[in-house]
Chain A
Amino acid sequence: METHRIPTGIAGLDEMLHGGFLSQTANLIEGAPGTGKTTLGMQFIQHGIVHCAEPGLILTFEEFPEQYYQDAASFGWDFRAHEAANHLRVIMTSPEVSRADLQQISGRIETMVHQLGLKRVLVDSLSHFERLTTDPVELRQIIFGFVNGLKRLGLTAVLTRENAALLGETSDSEEDLAFVMDSYVVLRYVEIQSAVHKALLVLKLRGSDHDKDIRRYTITGSGIEVRARFEGTRGIMSGTPTMTHAEAFAAAFLPAGSGGKQPVS
């Protein structure tokens, strides 16, 4: 049976996800500050409203709605107009209150979902749940209950999570959190020959196959654009990749234009 896909609107990412996220799932976007987690989430919301007739909700634990309006406007997305047309709600709230609200019968979020026909939600960011407990097991249970509450309402969720490390691997606790999610997309800074690039990897997509390539991406004036996979390097997710043996040989011994591939720049 064909599974219903929820496209993100980011062509390269949808290709990696074989069409998009699965409907009514929780999808974690994890990355360092400035890697574009919120931009990816906003693009997911914008695409749903404009191209899929799927109204969206943004639950923000960090920024004021005004900040989202401004950030969205910089990509040409009019979130203020979407709100006025009841296609979007941007709600500044806290993890404890939104969690308690979801646990209620006919809570505010549930009422809003039914009244506006909301289909997509961006939760920005899960990192704030860490304020609720220092016990990683309890934190996992809290987040598990929270994402199940969103799924129960029929929402497809993108949840961001900050990784404090600018370069390198995730910590054990971050990987632990990925178990309660249906998909896990990692955004990373990568240093190659004294320049910083951005890399994207779909680590997990429960219930579906997905591309395992590590792809380069950029944040342009119209949002995130996922480009080709990194070639000729290994150890990309370490943040400081090295050239493969073949690329290192070509770089060292073959003159430019001789047919050997040049190192990734």
Chain B
Amino acid sequence: MANSDDLATGLMDDMDPRLLELIQTRINSFIKWDLVRFFHENPHTTDTAANIARYTGRDVRTVEPELMALARDGVLQMDDLSGLRVFTLAGNSEMRELVHVFIKACDDRQFRVKAIYHVIRSLR
């Protein structure tokens, strides 16, 4: 008989497998979630970590490593602009579509609960 943890995991895994993979491997912190939402709402923004931290109301020391991780994982694009390290939403149309599907899915409370569960698990 499955234990309660397995049961919860089974219930929480019940979502689009592409989104499950995205949350478990790439948007696996609440700051990354916020940053992805910011870039989804501002798809033409290209800016430095310091300015993005300002736009999102966070500390640059917290935001910069998360931006770099998102860039490493292909969600964002990181470029050197005349000596400035800048970030923008990845130009890859598949990734942009996946991000769009994720943000739209977050409109649903059930989905949000599941996503939060996975983010908390990955933070452990």
Contacts and interface: CB of A to CB of B under 8 A. Distances in A.
Given A92-B55, A104-B81, A97 B42 contact: no
B47 interface: yes
- Interface class of chain B by DSSP: mixed
B81 A97 contact: yes
A100 interface: yes
Contacts, number: 46
A141 B115 CA distance: 49
A65 interface: yes
B82 A65 contact: no
A92 B46 CA distance: 8
B44 A97 contact: no
Contacts of B82: 100, 103-104
A106 interface: no
B84 interface: yes
Interface residues of B, number: 15
Contacts of B83: 100
Contacts of B44: 89-92, 108, 112
Interface in A63-119: 64-66, 89-94, 96-97, 100-101, 103-104, 107-108, 112
A96 B48 contact: yes
Top 5 nearest A-B pairs (CB, nearest first) are A100-B82, A91-B44, A94-B51, A100-B81, A92-B45
Interface of A: 64-66, 89-94, 96-97, 100-101, 103-104, 107-108, 112
Interface of B: 41-42, 44-48, 51, 55, 81-84, 86, 88
14 contacts: A64-B41, A64-B42, A65-B41, A92-B44, A92-B47, A96-B48, A97-B46, A100-B83, A101-B46, A104-B82, A107-B81, A108-B44, A108-B46, A108-B88
